[in-house]
């Protein structure tokens, strides 16, 4: 979607929680496909907008006060392990430094 800049997923918080709103939009769209001639190809073509509830961006860019893009160094990587004292976990990531805008893959954080 969007040349690889958007993904459809009802998950958030590193695939730990499911968005009820996102899941309902996805299920509504899939149920409307059962009778596609009446819904999407008929007068209920706006059901495709329910997919927008599950769309999440896969990119990160930085804007200034005038909404102009500005280059900024961003560290992108995957979570490797959680270590630290009890009650104060520290996440260790293997990361690479990129200049914004950055495309973030599955399982990566910025």
Q: Give the Cα separation of 108 and 14 in Å (integer).
A: 9
Tens of pLDDT, residue by residue over 80-92, are: 655 555 666 656 5
Query: If you write DSSP's letter for every residue of the chain in order, what string do you get?
Result: -GGGTEEE-SEETTTTEE-HHHHHHHHHHHHHGGGTTTIIIIITGGGGGGGGGGEEE-EE--B-TTS-B---EEEEEEEEEEEEETTEEEEEEEEEEEESSEE--TTEE-
Tens of pLDDT, residue by residue over 40-67, are: 898 888 888 998 888 887 788 888 899 8
pTM of the model: 0.62
Q: How confident is the model at residue 34 (pLDDT cuts 50, 70, 90)?
A: very high
Q: Give the Cα separation of 9 and 86 in Å (integer).
A: 33
């Amino acid at each position: 979607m969007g040349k690889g800049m958007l993904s459809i997923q009802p998950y958030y918080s590193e695939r730990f929680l499911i968005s009820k709103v996102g899941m309902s939009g996805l299920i509504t769209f899939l149920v409307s496909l059962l009778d596609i001639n009446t819904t999407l190809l008929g007068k209920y073509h706006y059901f495709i907008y329910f997919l927008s509830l599950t769309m999440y961006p896969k990119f990160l860019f930085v804007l200034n006060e005038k909404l102009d893009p500005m280059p900024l160094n961003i560290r992108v990587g995957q979570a490797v392990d959680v270590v630290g004292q009890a009650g104060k976990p520290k996440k260790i990531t293997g990361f690479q430094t990129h200049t914004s805008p950055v495309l973030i893959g599955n399982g990566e954080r910025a």
